[in-house]
């Protein structure tokens, strides 16, 4: 196939003349991705942003699960409210994973497909499930979103970015959950380290979101307190409509 210079969209090495990207991709990986940073590529049209993202997706594939989304795939109606946006986002997310053929695809995507098949969920439920998928992945997950400017004037997109940033900032507060199946019934148990009352209250709220996903009204939290003057024991806490049995050791 003949090649030519291209000024009307992303460049494809087999079809277009283009500069080598290896050094640029290496720098992005080493300076940003490997450190777990989030970053923005922001330039004018036809500066190679999409071309760079497509090349980066393949460059990272060996060490990371890369989910690359294009917000031009979402229509105006998809930004009407949380429910529509969440449904459209999950649909694009799942299709992007299926196209890439990621490891343990069926196992990882099952919770997303189950949520997508339901109704009445929004950003809170979507992020709770996405967080679980990332936590269960053997490789780190990299999310790339192209053409975000097409969605920047929508409030639901602003809410999406706010929750995405919140999960990013709290990414090291990893949950350690145990799901016990006993005589046909599931018991959800979260293990954590005690970091004070304020931290504990935040974890309680996050845990209720997790219980929502499993359609449970009751869950169990076991906190390991390493303070010398700790108070141990068991108590029952009401968090909204949920009941949490908390134990401190």
What local confidence, expressed as pLDDT, does residue 175 receive?
54
For residue 134, which of 99, 161, 170 has the smallest C-alpha distance?
170
* Alpha-carbon torsion (137, 39, 36, 190), positive or negative: negative
What local confidence, expressed as pLDDT, does residue 101 receive?
66
Packing angle, helices 123-136 and 197-213, rounded to 10 = 90
What local confidence, expressed as pLDDT, does residue 103 receive?
58
List, for residues 40-80, the tens digit of each pLDDT value.
888 887 788 888 888 999 899 888 888 888 888 888 888 88
The 3-class secondary structure across 7-38, one letter per residue, is CCCCCCCCCECCCCCHHHHHHHHHHCHHHCCC
What local confidence, expressed as pLDDT, does residue 239 receive?
85
CB neighbour list of residue 90: distance below 8 Å, 6 or more residues apart? 112, 115, 116, 126
What local confidence, expressed as pLDDT, does residue 27 receive?
92
What local confidence, expressed as pLDDT, does residue 220 receive?
92
Residues in the chain: 249
CA distance 225 to 231: 8
- The tens-digit pLDDT sequence of the chain (249 residues) is 788 887 777 877 778 878 788 899 999 999 999 988 888 888 887 788 888 888 999 899 888 888 888 888 888 888 888 888 998 888 888 888 876 666 556 667 777 887 877 777 888 888 888 887 887 777 888 999 888 877 777 888 889 888 888 888 877 665 556 777 777 788 888 887 777 777 778 778 878 877 887 788 999 988 888 776 778 889 998 888 899 999 888
CA distance 96 to 109: 11
51 burial level (CB within 10 Å; 0-12, 13-18, 19+): buried
Collapsing DSSP to helix, strand or coil, 127 comes out as: helix
């Amino acid at each position: 196939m003949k090649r030519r210079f291209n000024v009307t969209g992303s460049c494809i090495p087999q079809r277009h003349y283009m500069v080598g990207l290896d050094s640029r991709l290496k720098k992005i990986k080493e300076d940003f991705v490997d450190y777990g940073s989030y970053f923005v590529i922001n330039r004018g049209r036809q500066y190679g942003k999409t071309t760079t993202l497509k090349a980066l997706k393949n460059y990272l594939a060996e060490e990371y699960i890369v989910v690359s989304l294009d917000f031009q795939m979402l229509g105006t109606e998809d930004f009407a409210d949380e429910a529509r946006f969440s449904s459209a986002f999950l649909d694009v997310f799942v299709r992007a994973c299926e196209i890439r053929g990621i490891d343990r695809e069926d196992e990882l995507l099952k919770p997303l497909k189950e949520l997508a098949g339901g109704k009445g969920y929004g950003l809170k439920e979507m992020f709770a499930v996405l967080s679980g998928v990332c936590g269960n992945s053997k490789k780190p997950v990299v999310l790339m979103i192209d053409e975000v400017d097409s969605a920047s004037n929508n409030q639901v997109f602003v809410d999406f970015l706010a929750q995405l940033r919140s999960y990013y900032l709290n990414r090291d507060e990893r949950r350690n959950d145990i799901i016990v199946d006993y005589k046909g019934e599931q018991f959800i148990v979260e293990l954590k380290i005690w970091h004070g009352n304020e931290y504990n209250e935040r974890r309680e709220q996050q845990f209720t979101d997790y219980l929502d996903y499993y359609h449970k009204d009751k869950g169990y939290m076991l906190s390991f307190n390493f303070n010398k003057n700790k108070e141990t024991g068991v108590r029952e806490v009401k968090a909204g409509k949920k009941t949490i049995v908390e134990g401190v050791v």
